[in-house]
């Protein structure tokens, strides 16, 4: 079971949008998901069409009047249960302020639920108060959205420092990842941000980026996740890929064995699969894809790993009538397509697919983190 705290004290950077849509995509991918709305603004609850302001919730849980299980709204969308934010949530921080072990209250209340869920997502408020600290304290992974439109890395430095303190104090390892949201790679601002994040947090940048779309705001208004409201939108497909990537990563973490819908980069029988690494690109894996039954005179490969430029940074081999494509990529989940004699198509030898923004189908490739 994984507990993902979605945290950044900067307001409006995409925490709630990420919480809702990642939860929805994980639910669709047959994960048992609990989403906890830890923000008194209740945007995650409202974004799923739930107006629970007057009901009982986390305040009563932290006050020992209710168990956490008693506050859960089951199946608000496919595969996703919700602990909604209530009007009393704003009073939780003063309440916790007086309690011993105030930083680990949520952790203790989650304990009985651990076997019921594969993924628990916590939408944090835009502050580093006790609500956020409780979420960080029980997290196995921290996702920090960063709005590429109005960026400031100061908040991320503060959050990183707080996470460092919690790691030290409780002897924890809290992997943190920065997720760029509303990221339009065509703008200079976005490219500058990308560069700064790479420089200042070289290990933390998540390779999936969420593109801007007006559909994201509309979906909240209509109380639906993007996969229901606008499944063809750019951000919907980005969140789909984020979920797939997180599941694939989870395979390399100890506690869970999720079902990642991807073709493995390791499935081929070539000795090249021994995955050599260059020193300066130590994280990159060599990937060899073999295509047995594709008859054509030219086969090209394009995907996230080469910016969708056919055969860019890809070596082509032809062995006994079989095509092979060889390239390097960082661990993660990638979408790709083939260009077969000039015609785009999904990989017919790969059953793992995902709809793309153009109404077609992309194939999915998993490059594992460790070999
Ligand atoms: N990919 C996107 N494209 C366009 N708009 C987006 C996108 N992601 C988020 N938004 C919009 O940006 C605004 C802020 O997003 P969101 O509520 O998710 O941020 P937040 O970090 O949870 O804010 P807060 O700190 O107030 O809780 C919302 O209006 C949301 O609809
Ligand atoms: Mg929010």
Q: Is there a domain that residue 258 lies in?
A: no
> In the predicted model, is pLDDT for residue 362 greater than 60?
yes
Q: Is there a domain that residue 255 lies in?
A: no
- Mean pLDDT for the stretch of residues 349-367: 78
Q: Find the ligand nearest to 20 CA.
A: 1
Look up the CATH number of the domain holding residue 299: 2.60.40.10
Integer-rounded Cα Rg, in Å, for the chain is: 22
Are residue 271 and residue 243 in the same domain, yes or no? no
- Mean pLDDT for the stretch of residues 192-200: 90
Are residue 198 and residue 294 in the same domain, yes or no? no
Are residue 231 and residue 281 in the same domain, yes or no? no
Q: Is there a domain that residue 105 lies in?
A: yes
Q: Is there a domain that residue 244 lies in?
A: yes
Are residue 218 and residue 86 in the same domain, yes or no? yes
pLDDT digit string (tens) for 161-172? 999 998 988 888
Q: Rounded CA gap, 142 and 3, in Å?
A: 8
Are residue 74 and residue 152 in the same domain, yes or no? yes
Instruction: Write down the pLDDT at residue 41.
Output: 92
Q: What's the number of domains the chain is made of?
A: 2
Residue 151 · residue 16 · CB < 8 Å: no
Structural domain that includes position 76? 2-250
Burial of 168 (0-12, 13-18, 19+ CB in 10 A): exposed
Whole-number Å distance, alpha carbon 147 to ligand 1 midpoint, is 8
Q: Is there a domain that residue 139 lies in?
A: yes
Instruction: Show which of 226, 250, 274 is a domain's final residue.
Output: 250
Q: Is there a domain that residue 260 lies in?
A: no
Q: Find the ligand nearest to 12 CA.
A: 1
3-state secondary structure of 168: helix
Are residue 227 and residue 312 in the same domain, yes or no? no
> In the predicted model, is pLDDT for residue 70 greater than 90?
yes
Q: Is there a domain that residue 261 lies in?
A: no
- Mean pLDDT for the stretch of residues 149-153: 75
12, 21, 187, 218: which to mutate for ligand 1, most atoms within 8 A of CB? 12
Q: Is there a domain that residue 156 lies in?
A: yes
pLDDT digit string (tens) for 232-249? 899 998 999 899 888 877
């Amino acid at each position: 079971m994984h507990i993902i705290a979605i945290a950044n004290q900067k307001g409006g950077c995409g925490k709630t949008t990420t919480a809702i849509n990642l939860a929805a995509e994980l639910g669709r991918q047959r994960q048992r998901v609990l989403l906890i709305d830890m923000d008194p603004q209740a945007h995650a609850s409202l974004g799923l069409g739930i107006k629970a302001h007057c009901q009982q919730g986390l305040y009563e849980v932290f006050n020992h009047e209710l168990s956490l299980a008693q506050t859960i709204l089951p199946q608000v969308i496919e595969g996703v249960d919700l602990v909604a934010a209530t009007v009393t949530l704003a009073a939780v921080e003063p309440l916790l302020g007086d309690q011993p072990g105030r930083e680990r209250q949520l952790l203790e209340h989650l304990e009985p639920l651990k076997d019921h869920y594969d993924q628990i997502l916590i939408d944090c408020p835009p502050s580093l108060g006790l609500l956020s600290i409780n979420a960080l304290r029980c997290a196995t992974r921290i996702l920090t959205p960063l709005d590429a439109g109005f960026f400031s890395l100061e908040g991320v430095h503060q959050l990183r420092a707080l996470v460092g303190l919690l790691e030290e104090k409780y002897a924890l390892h809290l992997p943190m990842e920065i997720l760029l949201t509303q990221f339009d790679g065509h703008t200079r601002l976005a490219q500058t941000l990308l560069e700064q994040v790479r420089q200042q947090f070289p290990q933390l940048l998540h390779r999936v980026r969420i593109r801007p779309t007006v559909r994201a705001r509309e979906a909240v208004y209509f109380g639906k996740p993007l996969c229901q409201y606008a499944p063809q939108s750019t951000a919907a497909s980005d969140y789909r890929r984020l979920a797939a990537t997180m599941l694939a990563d989870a395979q390399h973490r100890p506690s869970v064995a999720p079902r990642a819908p991807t073709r493995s980069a390791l499935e081929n029988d070539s000795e090249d699969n021994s995955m050599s690494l260059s020193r300066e690109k130590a994280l990159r894996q060599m990937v060899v894809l073999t295509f047995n039954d594709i008859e054509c005179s030219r086969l090209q490969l394009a995907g996230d790993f080469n910016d969708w430029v056919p055969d860019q940074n890809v070596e082509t081999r032809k062995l006994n009538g079989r095509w092979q494509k060889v390239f390097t990529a960082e661990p993660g989940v990638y979408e790709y397509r083939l260009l077969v004699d000039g015609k785009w198509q999904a990989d017919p030898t790969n059953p793992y697919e995902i709809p793309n923004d153009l109404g077609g189908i992309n194939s999915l490739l998993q490059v594992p983190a460790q070999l």
